[in-house]
Structure formats: C-alpha cells, structure tokens
Chain A
Amino acid sequence: EPEVTQTPSHQVTQMGQEVILRCVPISNHLYFYWYRQILGQKVEFLVSFYNNEISEKSEIFDDQFSVERPDGSNFTLKIRSTKLEDSAMYFCASRPGQGGQETQYFGPGTRLLVL
C-alpha cells in the first residue's frame, strides 16, 4: 500500500539556521498539507497546497516558512531562520482530491530540534 514518506526522521539545528523538511506524498494525490506538533500539545495545521500554490495557511505559517513542490514527487517545507519555538514534530499529509470527505494520509513525521 502506498505511503507518505518524510526525510529526515530527525534533524537537529542551531537557532537561526535554515532547514528543509522533505515529503513524498502518495503519487496520485493532489492536495498536500503540513502540520506540526509541539511536544505535549495538539497537532496544528500549518499550510495546505494545491495546484502548485498555497490554498490556506495558519497564523503560525509566517514569512519564515515556505513550501514548494520542486518536482513531480517532492513537497518541501522550509524554515528560513529557525527559532527555539520551532522545535516540534512536523507531519506531511496528502489526499486524493476526488471530492467528498476524503482521508488524509500522514507521513511518519520529522522531529526537529532547534538548539
């Protein structure tokens, strides 16, 4: 069964550094999402992406964040200048886009630690 994959599984970075988190959604899916979960808190929506553009973003998704689908398979989340509070688990998700109440399929997550 196809799965969403994410790399790396863990990343440690220094405050102020740029990080790129990578996701490979399920191949025939059209809608892509990033969520994050700070330790001990709920899973929070960051951004949704469709047809090569952002369709919705949350208040968390400020100018330090960007997303890109550089080729037909990868979907990336970039944080330009990381802050301590960006430490979290980041989940990518995708869904087919056929309409109706569709399941979102989640990747295993990338645990980001900003020191």
Chain B
Amino acid sequence: AQRVTQPEKLLSVFKGAPVELKCNYSYSGSPELFWYVQYSRQRLQLLLRHISRESIKGFTADLNKGETSFHLKKPFAQEEDSAMYYCALAGGYNKLIFGAGTRLAVHP
C-alpha cells in the first residue's frame, strides 16, 4: 500500500533551535518524495523534492530508503518558518499521496 506517515501533529520550538519534521513512507517502487508547505491563509507550495537535493530556505531532506524516511531538517528555526508542512509521495500518474501534516510553531 502507498502511504505517508507524519507522526507529529504539532512541533513547537524556539527561534534558533534545530527542527526535524519526520516523514515515513510505504511504497513498493522507487519513491518520488516532496515536502509541501502551507503558510497561514496561503496555498500549498512546494518546498523540496528529493530528486533535486537542494536546500530551500535552509531546509534539507534526505531520502533514506533503508528506513523509508524523508525527514525535513533545518539547523536554526526562524519565526517565519511557522506553517503546516506536508510530506507527499508521487503515486501513479503522479498523483500525490499526502501525510497528515505537521504544524511547526516557532516561538520568539
């Protein structure tokens, strides 16, 4: 079965603290994974995709096929990082299978 699990509904940290948003997936083929972000009152927008291996806004994510994980990390959180973060897996016809999302709250 194709599934994405984000175990934390809420992650609350102070500004400057490291952040790790967890994502695990279940997929029989070669996975294509994404992180989408939704800031307050805005649309879902792509943050990262694993194939590009780039860092956006200081966030990185590494695909670990052994652990079937694609955790999102940032060494020093900023208040403007507060948002909903969704991990997603591309299934057939590139439909996206989303996790439940993690709300990141960064406090001053």
Chain A residues at the B interface, C-beta cutoff of 8 Å: 4, 31, 33, 35, 41-45, 48, 50, 55-56, 91, 93, 95, 100-109
Contacts and interface: CB of A to CB of B under 8 A. Distances in A.
B57 interface: no
Contact of B98 (A4, A42, A101, A103): A42
Contact of B95 (A48, A101, A105, A107): A48
B90 A33 contact: no
Nearest to B97: A45
Interface of B: 32, 34, 36, 42-46, 49-51, 86, 90-101
A4 B44 CA distance: 11
B95 A33 contact: yes
A109 B44 CA distance: 9
A101 B31 CA distance: 10
A45 B43 contact: no
Contacts of B50: 101
B44 A45 contact: no
Contacts of A43: 44, 86, 96, 98, 101
Contacts of A48: 93-95
A101 B92 CA distance: 12
Nearest to B36: A106
The 5 A-B pairs of least Cβ separation, nearest first, read A106-B44, A43-B98, A42-B100, A45-B95, A108-B43
B91 to A, nearest CB: 8
Contact of A42 (B32, B51, B99): B99
B53 to A, nearest CB: 12
A109 B98 contact: no
A73 B31 CA distance: 32
Contacts of B99: 42
Contacts of A104: 46, 94, 96
A95 B88 CA distance: 15
B94 A107 contact: no
